[in-house]
Chains A and B, each alone.
Chain A
Amino acid sequence: MSESRFRIAPGIVHETVDGEVIAIDLDDGSYYSLAGSGPAIWELLEGGASEAEIGAALAASFEAEEAEIGAAVSALLGQMQENGLIVASEGGGSGAPPARSSEKSPFEVPRLERYDDMKDYFLLDPIHEVDTAGWPRPAA
């Protein structure tokens, strides 16, 4: 599996509540809900784990074939990268192997949903950052 590492993109704010990650893209007003095993993947990614390490950690916690987990992780990371939620990271990971949980729970496919209903508002009230040269830089 890939040793690629990712980090949460700048401009994304996020919180996890009740087994769901809510992430908001401050640059374009879109927002996301990440559920199923998504929050576990998000947490590992935030901790600096590589794609392979995320797969291994999930395989240790969930009842599913490693290949099935690997494919789901890979698909989610691709989807999140495409949507600008995460970006490739140069840095190394935590290095610490994930703790094996004593009892495995059923594997739920990660679910990412994107919402664009705030975009209309965003276009009405766009923010143009002014940089030190004094020129507004369009936000999106």
Chain B
Amino acid sequence: MAAEADLAGEYFEQLFARYEQAVTALGGAGTLDLGMAGLRLRLRFAGAGLREGLLAPFEHLACGDGGAPELTISLFDTASSGIEPPAPLWQPIGAAPGTNPIARLRSERACVLAAAGSRGLTAALPAEGIAVFHLPDATAVAASERAAPIREALQLLMAARGPLMTHAGAVGRDGNGVLLVGRGGSGKSTLALSCALAGMDIVADDYVLLEPDSLIAHAMQSTAKLTEDSAARLGIPPEVIDPAGFEPTLEGPAKALVDIRDLAPGRMKRGLAITAVVAPVIPALTSRVAAHTAQEIGRESLRRISSGEGLRTVAPSTIVQAGSGGGSGSLATLADLVRRVPSYALELSPDPAANAAAVDRLVAELG
């Protein structure tokens, strides 16, 4: 049987050739070698603006052991190199304000993702561990790209090696920690940052790379996103907030970026072994007083929930938001997680320190 034309694979080759032209045009490429999720990842970039605009949040994972990379992502932009990406194989998709529809072209070997809102273009050969990422202008990067830079490329390459990009934060102590799960707006980020400010270790507020088997949650970028309300409640000093300030997000309230290393020096870790899943719950107004009282008298605001409820909290937002296609393998990894570690709901108190203390006690108990 004749093989169908591998359009996605061909598009990858064309985009990669354009990257090489950009390198030539700019007289060379920069590299940033990282150790991420136990893998050596090389970021190659044509145009210094890319490092500043997009890659700074990965600098904390820099490693110079000189080993051959297992994964490589090559980045270029048109503004600095003058090189355009190949003509799209798809009809342009209109992006209504505040949306980021993605055109996806897939084959067994390759995956191409073109985001109409952020205008990021990703092409990857996941099994071969290589990807190319293009932006029109790295100096005018959309807030969504800066919050989760090269997310699609990382997701595709990592998934082929095992680590699942999971929509969760992770905090802990002494190498062990809990996964903080829930959809956007559930209080994950605020809780994760409360924990870091209370002296706990943190891997991420929003996305981790979860390694199956070992259940280690690995860090990607060192940035976190928070709303103005959270920044006020956590008492975040204005000088650590990204100069771009609070920008509208796809999911609703405006958020600003902070670098966790500035916010809680020394607390950012590369990975934590996960011993529980914790879903923060913002209590209904009527039960808030009761919850607060319960905490004041020292009663635990944590309650065990079923593994099914744990899976329902972590899986849909991980899998549905996976632009690069979450599948049955991703759900199986998360199901294995909730079968192996207990799940809890944490009724959030208005006092961030009380919430952090509840998580800290759980981490200590599960040690």
Contact = CB atoms under 8 A, between A and B. Distances in A.
Partners in one complex: yes
B306 A18 contact: yes
Interface in A61-104: none
Given A128-B104, A130-B90, 11 more contacts: A15-B335, A20-B308, A24-B316, A24-B331, A31-B312, A124-B251, A126-B101, A126-B102, A128-B103, A129-B104, A130-B89
Interface of B: 4-5, 7, 89-91, 93, 98-106, 112, 183-184, 250-251, 306-308, 311-312, 315-317, 319-321, 323, 325-328, 330-332, 334-335, 338-339
A134 B91 contact: yes
Contact of B323 (A18, A127, A130): A127
Given A24-B319, A135-B90, A135-B91, A130 B103 contact: yes
A121 B332 contact: no
A31 B2 CA distance: 38
Interface string A1-28: 0000000000001111111101010100
Contacts of B99: 123-126
Contacts of B106: 129
A30 B226 CA distance: 27
Chain A CB within 10 A, most for which of B250, B320, B330: B320
Chain B CB within 10 A, most for which of A115, A127, A134: A127
Nearest to A12: B328
Interface in A14-61: 14-20, 22, 24, 26, 29, 31, 33, 35
Contacts of A26: 319-320, 325-327
Interface of A: 13-20, 22, 24, 26, 29, 31, 33, 35, 115, 117-118, 120-130, 132, 134-136
Given A128-B101, A132-B5, A121 B317 contact: yes
B105 A24 contact: no
Nearest to B328: A13
Nearest to A25: B320
A14 to B, nearest CB: 7
30 contacts: A17-B338, A22-B308, A24-B315, A24-B319, A26-B319, A29-B316, A31-B312, A35-B308, A115-B312, A117-B316, A118-B320, A120-B251, A121-B251, A121-B317, A121-B321, A122-B320, A123-B99, A124-B251, A125-B101, A125-B250, A125-B321, A126-B102, A127-B104, A129-B105, A129-B106, A130-B104, A130-B112, A132-B4, A134-B7, A136-B90
A15 B326 CA distance: 14
Nearest to A39: B308
Contacts of A20: 306-308
A29 B320 contact: yes
A124 B98 contact: yes
Contacts of A129: 104-106
Contacts of A134: 7, 89-91
Nearest to B332: A15
A26 B327 CA distance: 8
A117 B183 contact: yes
Contact of A19 (B4, B5, B308, B325): B308
A22 B306 CA distance: 12
Nearest to A129: B104
A30 B191 CA distance: 26
A121 B328 contact: no
A13 B100 CA distance: 24
Given A121-B321, A124-B99, A130-B90, A17 B339 contact: yes
Given A121-B317, A132-B4, A127 B102 contact: yes
A134 B67 CA distance: 40
Chain B CB within 10 A, most for which of A29, A122, A125: A125
A127 to B, nearest CB: 5
B183 A118 contact: yes
A124 B99 CA distance: 5
Nearest to B317: A118
B102 A125 contact: yes
A90 to B, nearest CB: 23
A125 B339 contact: no
A15 B327 CA distance: 11
A85 B11 CA distance: 34
